Amino acid sequence: MSFSHLDDHDNPNMVDVSDKSVTQREAVARAKIYMPPNIMPFLIENNFKTKKGAVFQTAMLAGIMGVKKTADLIPLCHILPIEKCDVNIYVQGENEIWVDCTVKVTGKTGVEMEALTGASIAALTIYDMCKALSQEMMIKEISLLSKTGGKSSYLSKEG
């Protein structure tokens, strides 16, 4: 097995995508945040606002910003002209918040890392917005749900 991000001397390099076909590509990632039992009722009662402001709206903006900065954060990612980014946040069950980040581009390389980054940054922002309420929150899972375009597609069992 060889890795596309290593050259013939096992040094890191950016993958050459010049010969790849331009296709529409989409990826969806999810972050799950565990909230301690006393936090969710407080957030619901206060319309998901803390002294720092609107938790979900701030996290959505942060997630979009994270998507746009992925190539600055992850060394071997290509800079991509993002065409669409949606960050959706919702309560799941009694003690979880799920962040879904969908990213689309028409290009020669996929947007999985952008979707994963967007979901991660949005989850970290929720943690930051709520940390005065409890430090027992836990970002417990960040995963790729699906990807389309390019040579192969992927759909997780959850996606």
Structural domains of the chain ordered from first start: 37-148 (3.30.70.640)
Q: Is the pLDDT of residue 2 over 70?
A: no
Active site residue 128: yes
Is residue 95 within 8 Å of residue 140, measured between CB atoms?
no
CA distance 78 to 90: 30
Which tokens hold the place of 50?
């803390």
Q: Average pLDDT for residues 29-38, to the nearest whole number?
A: 95
Beta bridge partners, 54, equal 49
Inter-axis angle of helices 55-68 and 112-130, to 10 degrees?
Answer: 150
Active-site residue (options: 16, 72, 86, 128): 128
pLDDT tens-digit profile of 53-69? 999 999 999 999 999 99
Q: Whole-prediction pTM value?
A: 0.91
pLDDT tens-digit profile of 82-140? 999 999 999 999 999 999 999 999 999 999 999 999 999 999 999 999 999 999 999 99
Nearest to 71 by CA among 79, 62, 81, 63: 79
